Structure formats: C-alpha cells, structure tokens
Structure 1
C-alpha cells in the first residue's frame, strides 16, 4: 500500500473495511470492533506472510462504520458475497450443496433435490454432503408418502391428458394431477415427509403399522403385504439416520483439521437425536487465521435466514468474541442459540467423531492434492521441453478473438497459474482501433494493451 492513513482519519468504531488494488478491485474484506486498531495492526513489521502479501497487493483501504459488532459481522458477510475477494476464506456458495426441497407454495407441493439460490415458499432440509444419499432416502419413502416429484411441465401435461404418469402405477405418487387424492390426505403426506427429514420418524412408522394391522383384520392380505413392504422401506430409510442421543435433541457439531494451506471442516446435523445430515468441505486458507477464526467464518457462511441454525451449535473451539456470534446466530434463528464447546458426555464423544471424520477427509484430500500437483508438474515440464523454455511456464495466458457479423469484435484472456485456472485474472477486451474483421490486427491490439499495462504495473514504485 502506498500511503498509510493517519490514525485520526480512521474511526475508533465498529465496522467493516475493504482493501482495494490499483484497479479498484476488492482484495480483502474484514470487520473489527475498532476499525482504527485493526487497520493500524496491518502496518506492523511482523505480519504473517499471507497478510503481508495482501497488504503489498493493495493500493488503498476504505471503511464503513456500523452501530454494533453484529452489524459489522453481517456487513462483512454481505460484502464478501458481493465482491468475492481473493484473500478471504469462503465456503462454497450454498448453491453447491444439495438440499431436499418441498415447494410449499404450490397447490400440490413437490419434493426434489435442489441446488441453487433459495426460493420463497420452499422449505429446505440440509445441506447434505451427497445428492445421491437424499435421493435414495426419498425413493424409499415415496410408497408410504406418495407426493409428487415430477416437474411442473410434466404435472400440467398429465393433467391435460387426464391420466397419471408411471410413478402412480408403481405407487410412488398419489396422482394429484388428475384428482386421485384429496387435498387433506396429500397435506398429511407432505407433513409426514417434512417430519421425517426433521428427524421425527415415529409417527410415520405408527401410521404404516396401524394401516397394515387394519388391512390384515379386514383380511385384505395383498394390501397388508404392500404396507409391510412400505414399512420395510421406511425402516431402511430410518437406518440411514444413525441414533446418537437418547434424548430427542436438535444440534449441529462442527470440527476441523487443518495445516498451513488448507482446512477440512465437518458438520454433523442432529435432529430429534438422529444424524440427518453430514457436510464436509475443504477450504483454502488464503488468510492467516486460527481454528477459532475459521469456525467463525463457517458460522458466518453456513447459517442464513433461509438456513437458520438449530438451538445448539457445538464447536471444537469458540471463535473470538463468542457473544457477538451468539447474537448473530440468534438473529438468524429468531430465538436464542447456545454456542459452546462440549466438555464431557455423549456430545463430546460426537464432536470427537466429527473431528476424526475431518482428519480422514483431510488425509484423502492431501493425497489427491499431492497426486494432482505431481501430474501438473510433469505436464508443465513437458511443455517446457517442447517449447525450449529455461523454466516451466508457471503462468500461462491464452487469448482469443470473437467477431459478430464483422462489426462487434471482442477478445478474451484466460489464465493458468501452476497448471490451474486463475479465474479472477480472466479479462475481456473490447477492440477499439480495428475496423471490420481482422483477427491478426485485433490480436496485436490486445497483446499490446495487455503488456503495456503489465509494464506500467511492474515499474510502479
């Protein structure tokens, strides 16, 4: 950074701050109880290497004052989501994780596995680590809770035809498209499915057992046999939800394993005493953070108003200023949330299990990372030999020209560093000096502009 702001310029108040590079791109977003003290800390001599790299790459810093630490935390979350800064640790966006979704706003709600932005009027369960696991569980439940899984287009098509699709024939849909089920009965199916994925399976088991006994008493043995098969499928689905506590509690467990470069995070979701979801992710530690700060980042990104936390969140280590995180989680839940480190008993053992899962996932990831790194190194050395270079090409830029009807000419630049895409360095150029379609002249303009800017940036004091 060229000019350090004076202490008098920086407010001694809570808020968020943004580091920007010479092009105005946001490099890092942070929050602080006192912006003045936090900004001052970046100009110490003993900065960690990653922090020093961020400061060196930045041209300016700006800040936004808030009225509380919680507001600063929420503003930081919004700014990171908007700018996607290079030096901030971020989880994958929610859209990368699969959820089970119930379209409650539909006249006949639909169940499906979804990724993507949350939609109004849809109830979500999850997130989960694998989409196939949710699909398998849903498939086991559909004979007992036959709600529709078809798209709106298929639903309308069958409605116009006046006959249900094959899912009705195999007893995995109750045929709402042609009025083969009444609204009250269908609503029971929907509530039963929601209760199951919230961890309460007892009512479903009791209902199927009762229906099976009643059919047997009426000597309707084929119906009783079908219900028996349904009960088997329900119990098989329940077996996927491991019982971990004797009491019917709801809580999440968060554990991690890390090294200097990356961290493996594991989340176990317990509802009504059963594990109903597991979430694992590996993040790059592009900023120097402690385990507690990393858990704070997870709390910030994982829980939102559309995916609120449960009443208890049990963590391996508390983040700094835990009271601030308690307030944030309470706001997103709409009621109090207990954030703590379990010291003994079942919950402590469960947290240790989550920690073991994080360790094993991290070992697998590091083995894959090492394998990928070796393969990339071999490829870069091969390219070095083929091109007669002194060193392997650690940075590769590729350019292409595109013209629409000979009038609108643009160029694109893609970047690979160490054999991997560096998407935040991708650029697009609008051709300014070339008339008509001339790819060679257009390429000359792009290369000249790109390396003129590079030389100016390189020679900057």
Structure 2
C-alpha cells in the first residue's frame, strides 16, 4: 500500500516536471513544509529533474530525497556557468540537508588585509567577507593563522588592525578623507609611535614614519607572501639590502638581512614536493559511511605552504564525484586564493564549468587535473592520508562514533520491532567448498562494537556431499544455544538479536532450531545482494535507509562474520591440503615429506609435477611416486 502511494506521488511529480523548460538553471526540491531539501544545477532542467522522479539517478540518496520531496522550484539562467554561481548562492542561503556541506557550521579563520584603508592593516578574523577587504585562507588551525601573521610581520612590517594607535589614525583619516594626501604630516604631529614600531614589526604609520607609497609596497609584499610567491619578496628584499649597503646604511641592510633569514628559515621547514615552481591545490578525501574529510595541500612555487582539513557532512552515502564537486564549490566560494591547477582523485562531469568559474574568479586560466603517477600523484595520496588521520581525530574528539553507534542501535530496535536496543548481537555465517571443510563462525558485537573475545568458530559435523546452508545453520545454532552452552559463561549472556548471513532459507533454519530449543530470541537474515533484512513477522523484507547508521552497523556485523568464517575455512583447507594428503600416502613419512617439500618448494608445484619428476626426488621410489601422484590428483576435487 505504501509502495503504491509512493509510486503515485512520483507520477504526480513527473507530470509537473514535464512542464519544466529545457533551459539551463537551478532546481530546488522541497518538503511539505516548504523547506529546501536539495539544490542542484543543470544544463537542461527538465532532463535532469526527470532523472530524479524516474529514479534513474543511481545515487543512493535519490530515493530518500524523492520520498521526502513534496514540491519543487526552479530558476532559469542563461548558461551553465551562471547556474553554477546561482547554485552556490542558493546552497549558502538555504543549507539544504541533502547537499554536501561542512560538518561544523562555523566560520573558519582567515587572514585579511583591509585594502580600502589609506594604510591597510592585517588582521586575524572569522567575519563574513566585507567589501574592500582581501581575505586569505580559510585556515582550520587558528593558532597556525595567528603564527603566520606574527612571522609575516617580522619579515615585512605592517600595521595590525587591533593596534590602538592604528585605529586612532584610521578614525582621524576616515573623518576627513582630504587629510589622506598629507597623512604623514598630520600623523607625525598628532600621534605617537606604537610598541610594534619599536620592536620592528610596525612601519611607524602611527607617527608618520612612512608614506603611503612606501607602505603600499609593504602591503603588496605581504599579499604576495600570503599567496605563496616568496621568490619575488626575496628578490625585492635582496635588492633593497644591496642598495642600503651601497648607501652605507648598514643598520637598514642588517634589518633586511634578518628578514631574508626568516624567510629562509620558513623554507627550510617546508618540504619541496614538486621539482618545478608550480602553483596548485591537491585535495584528498577520506570517507566513512556518513561523514568524510577533505584535506587541501596548498602548493605555491613548488612548496607546500599550508595544509587545511575540513569535515564534511556526507560520506559513502554520496558518490565520490558529488562529494568532491560539493566541496570545491564551498571551498573556492570562500577563498580568494585560487591556483592555476586543482588536483583531484576523480573526474568531474562538470569539470569544464567549474574550471570556467574558477578562471573567472582567479583572472587567469585554471584547470582541474587527475594525476595518475609521479610527484603530483604522491602529493594527492599524502593529502588523502592526512584526511584520514584528521577524520579519526575529529571522531575521537567529538565522540562521533559513540553517538552514531547509539543511533544505529535505536534505529535497529525500531526497524526490527525489538523490545529494546540490541546491545548484544550474535551473527552466524557458513563457509564451505561444495560441502567439504564446512565451518561456521559466530561473531559478537557488544554495544555496537566488535567483541572479539566472544567470537567462536565451529566445524560442521553433519556429513555433507554438497553445500547445505540450511542443515549447517541448524547444526551450529543447535550447538550454540544448547542448554549447556547457554549456561556456559564462556559464551556470554543471551543475545538481544541473532543475525544469520543469508535470506529466507537461513532464517527458516534458525527459527526452526530455536523453536526446538524452546528459545524466544529475535532473529533476522541479511541478504548480501540488496542488503535486505528478512524478519519473522513480515513476508516483505525490511530495507534500512541507505547511508543510515543502522545499515552500516548491520553490514559491519555481517561482513565481520563472513571474514571470520572464511578465514577458518581457508585455514582448515590449507592444513588438509598440506598435511593430510601426504600423510595418508603409504610409504611417505616425515622424512620423505620434508624431502619432497625441499625439492619442489610448495604443494602447488608438487601437484603440477609428473610421476617421473616426483620419482626423480632423492629417496622416492617409482611405486611411492605413483601413490603420491594419485593421492594429490584425487584430492583436487576438494
């Protein structure tokens, strides 16, 4: 009934989408309350929106989005580029839950230059971008941003926006702009030098020690420094030092030399990651189920001048391309530092449109690149590694994993109609090879986490001539939940939920066995193909929402049981192949076995050998060689 209603709802949306124009623009899916759920852009609005209502878009989030959608809006624009800009503005305005965004809804720190002032100052800020101020960043480490300002002012003296004397001078010049022309004289008469001037970090604006032309050179050097173009600064300072020395102004030459040494010290700390002086951003991602991290390596003139990490509110629940594209739009919308090249580990469908947007923002050509090998590939891998570590730190710091686990247990309680959260889950899986070496695994998750001390493995004792999960599952549950095992403290307490790996047959075997034992324990089966959960109280399987904590947890339980079972199966099979086959051959004892292994090196090579080659082994007769060859080839069926 619910499915029929959902289909009817999609059909209604489809009829409305049929009236949408085929021009470029942005579309907004909304819920019944009118809240925007998702914002997207399209070259052809009707064709793109039709993919949603027909569920032909294979992204996992689309079915959930359409189930929550009640209506839509759209805005027609003139080109894909305009659609991209509008999309970013709409996402910033509405913050739709289905769009990729930063996990922490906070403003990140920037370093800003107040360019509209007569004497621009530098400042650390989290403010929204203001007209007349140039911003560098964002930074995710506030301390690193402050240290950058401190180091920079030692290299190029510039006023600090928090300086009381600079503020006094600014107020005076703002009150009467005509005084800007004679600013030095006015400031020298009415103001006094600040502390920073005396320690060499301020140029003396507050006391008329520097004119606007010379100060503008300082500001330009600061901006180039923050852009990563340090070679230009080194060249300018070197020329100034040489000129000061030629003018016998050795005190000034010494001060400039100290600034050059500070730049050199900075370069010594930074690894040269690329042989050429390229300017690029390498962006690596690491994704968990519903959370991820992006790490940006900012490379200027071949050197990594900083790395920044951002936690994103989407993970494996969206595609890699969508995650990367969403981050690019958010990050470069906020930063003015756009490089000539952006390196990613995936190809974007809208790469040309995004490159056009970035080119317009930068004023020079920008292209997106996916390096396959070499230094750039290595740098991209390093960025992904740093993203993984940053995400782990975030999850530990915030307790994200614990919150997610608690949510998963509560979701399973509701979806599977349990009496309480399944604090102890036991999952069983069968592994066999055509009925031979059949084993079963039991893994235990306590409070949503793997409890390896409680894992158990079983050899199936029922004789089988072919794979029979029904019989095998019945046996292992009968042994695990027999009265003596239930009373054995080594097996732990009674589970809150039993999960069997498989569909209806495995679930039926489990239910029948528990009924024979007189036990009433909730049990479900998890099919591998569609991640459907089969339950005892409904013919239709339970489908957990894609990307939900509950689905992630139960898949983790199932995959762990499969890993544990197949490891045991391979162990038994390998042991049987390498030990039992030769041990059962008449005339082959430990000594001859060692000779054979030393001669052939492995059982695989021994099995591939002919009788003559086996007989050529020292100490092996033709009759024994024939027996060995025959035993090995008969064992291949297993």
- The normalised TM-score by structure 2 is 0.53
C-alpha distance in structure 2 between counterparts of 1:174 and 1:96, whole Å: 31
Matched, 1:252 2:261: no
Shift of residue 173 of structure 1?
0.7
Q: Which residue of 1 aligns with 2:107?
A: 96
Report the alpha carbon displacement of residue 110 of structure 1 after superposing the two structures with TM.
Answer: 0.5
Match of 1:322 among 345, 351, 366: 351
Counterpart pick for 1:293 among 322, 328, 335: 322
Matched with 2:28 is 18
1:60 is aligned to 2:71? yes
Determine if the alignment matches structure 1 residue 37 to structure 2 residue 32. no
Q: Which runs of structure 2 are paired with 1:53-452 in the superposition (5 Å)?
A: 53-91=64-102, 96-151=107-162, 154-157=165-168, 162-206=191-235, 229-285=258-314, 288-304=317-333, 307=336, 309-368=338-397, 370=399, 373=402
Aligned residue for 1:304, secondary structure, equals helix
Query: Would you say the 8 A contact 2:276–2:301 is kept in 1?
Result: yes
The higher-RCO structure (CA 8 Å, 6+ apart) is: 1
Larger Rg: 2
SS of the residue corresponding to residue 4 of structure 1 reads helix
Instruction: Give me the whole-angstrom Cα distance separating, in 1, the residues matched to 2:334 and 2:31.
Output: 32
SS at match of 1:42: helix
- Return the alpha-carbon distance in structure 2 between the equivalents of residues 81 and 126 of structure 1: 18
CA offset at residue 280 of structure 1?
A: 0.9
- What secondary structure sits across from 1:188 in the alignment? helix
User: SS in structure 1 opposite 2:13?
Assistant: coil
CA pair 59-182 structure 1, distance change in 2 beyond 3 A: same
2:628 matched residue in structure 1: none
Alignment pair present for 1:4 and 2:7: no
Q: 1:186 to 1:95 in 2, by over 3 A?
A: farther
Quote the offset at 1:363 in angstroms: 2.9
Distance of aligned partners of 1:152 and 1:69 in 2 relative to their CA distance in 1, 3 Å threshold: same
CA distance in 1, matches of 2:50, 2:346: 27
Q: CA deviation at 1:281?
A: 0.7
Using structure 1 for the length normalisation, give the TM-score: 0.72
**CA contact 2:37–2:96 (8 Å) conserved in 1:** yes
Greater CA deviation, 9-18 or 205-214?
A: 205-214
Q: Which structure features the higher share of helix residues?
A: 2
* Closer/same/farther in 2, CA of residues 374 and 91 from structure 1, 3 Å limit: closer
- Larger % of strand: which? 1
CA distance in 1, matches of 2:388, 2:99: 23
Which deviates the most, 292-301 or 45-54? 45-54
Q: Conserved in 1, the CA contact under 8 Å of 2:112 and 2:125? A: yes
Q: Give ranges in structure 2 of 5+ residues lacking alignment.
A: 1-5, 170-186, 411-418, 422-638
**Residues 1:262 and 1:376: Cα distance change in structure 2 (over 3 Å):** closer
In structure 2, C-alpha distance between the alignment counterparts of 1:191 and 1:45, rounded to whole Å = 53
Tell me how far 1:288 sits from its aligned partner: 4.3
Question: Would you say the 8 A contact 2:279–2:302 is kept in 1?
Answer: yes
Q: CA RMSD of the aligned region, Å?
A: 3.5
CA distance in 2: counterparts of 1:124 and 1:45, whole angstroms: 42
